[in-house]
Chain A
C-alpha cells in the first residue's frame, strides 16, 4: 500500500510566522503535489514537483514556496502566514496509472 504521511494533523500559527508543512512518501514516486481544500472551492493545486529539486507552480502559488531535497520528501512553506491561508492542506503522490494518493491532511489555522 502507498503510504503518504504529513508532519502534523492540526497546526495553529500566528499571522506573520513562517510555517513548514512536511510530506513523506514511501513508494518511490517521482511526482508529488501540494493542494489546499476549502469548502465550496474544492481542491486547488499550489505547487508540484516532478523530480528532486524540481518544482512547478500550480494554480494558486502566491504566498507559498516548496522544497524537494530528497525524492521521498516534499515540503510546503508559508513564508509569512496570513489568515486567508487557514485551510486544509493535502499532499499527494502520483501513481503509475496517473492516480494520486493523498496524505491525511494538515488542518492549519492562522490567527
Chain B
C-alpha cells in the first residue's frame, strides 16, 4: 500500500530563517511526487512535480528535491506570506494520488 508521511506536523520560523520540510514515501512504481500549498479554507494549489530521484525544481523561495525514499521542500529566507500548509502526495502504479497530512508552516515577521 502506498504511504506518505510528512514531518514536522507544524513548523514555526522567523522571517528569513531557512528550513526544510520532509516527505517520506513508499510507493509501488513512482509515477510522480507532488507538492501543494494550501491556505486556510481553500483548495490545494499545485507547486511542483518530481518524477525521478535526483530531480530538483525551484519556484521563488521554494526548492523541492527527490530521493528514492523521500522528498524535501527547502524554504530559503521565508516571508510571512509563505505561511500555509504544505502537502506532499505520490502517485504510483495504482494511479491514485496518496496524500500526506501536511506540514503547517507559520512564518513570523
Q: Once bound together, how far apart are the Cα atoms of A43 and B100, in whole Å?
A: 8
Across-interface contacts of B43 in A (CB, < 8 A): 4, 90, 92, 102-105
Q: Is B99 engaged at the interface, CB distance under 8 Å to the other chain? A: yes
Given contacts A98-B31, A100-B34, contact A41 B101 (CB under 8 A): yes
Residues of A within 8 A of B89 (CB): 43, 100
A69–B40 CA distance with the chains assembled, in angstroms = 32
Total number of A-B contacts with CB less than 8 angstroms? Answer: 49
> A99 at the A/B interface (Cβ < 8 Å)?
yes
* Interface size, A (range): 20 to 34
Q: Which of A36-81 contact B (CB under 8 A)?
A: 40-43, 45, 58-59
A42→B102 contact, CB < 8 A: yes
Chain B: interface residue total (CB-CB under 8 A):
20
- List, in ascending order, chain A residues with CB within 8 A of B32's CB: 97-99
Indicate if the CB atoms of A107 and B101 lie closer than 8 Å.
no
A to B CB contacts below 8 Å, 23 in the list:
A4-B43, A40-B101, A41-B101, A42-B87, A42-B102, A43-B87, A43-B99, A59-B96, A90-B44, A92-B43, A95-B46, A97-B32, A97-B49, A98-B31, A98-B49, A99-B34, A99-B49, A100-B34, A100-B97, A102-B44, A105-B42, A105-B43, A107-B41
- Residues of chain B touching chain A, judged by Cβ–Cβ distance below 8 Å, are 31-32, 34, 36, 41-46, 49, 87, 89, 91, 96-97, 99-102
Taking A33-B97, A40-B101, A99-B46 as known contacts, 5 extra A-B pairs with beta carbons closer than 8 A to each other, sorted by chain A number, are A43-B89, A98-B49, A98-B91, A99-B34, A100-B97
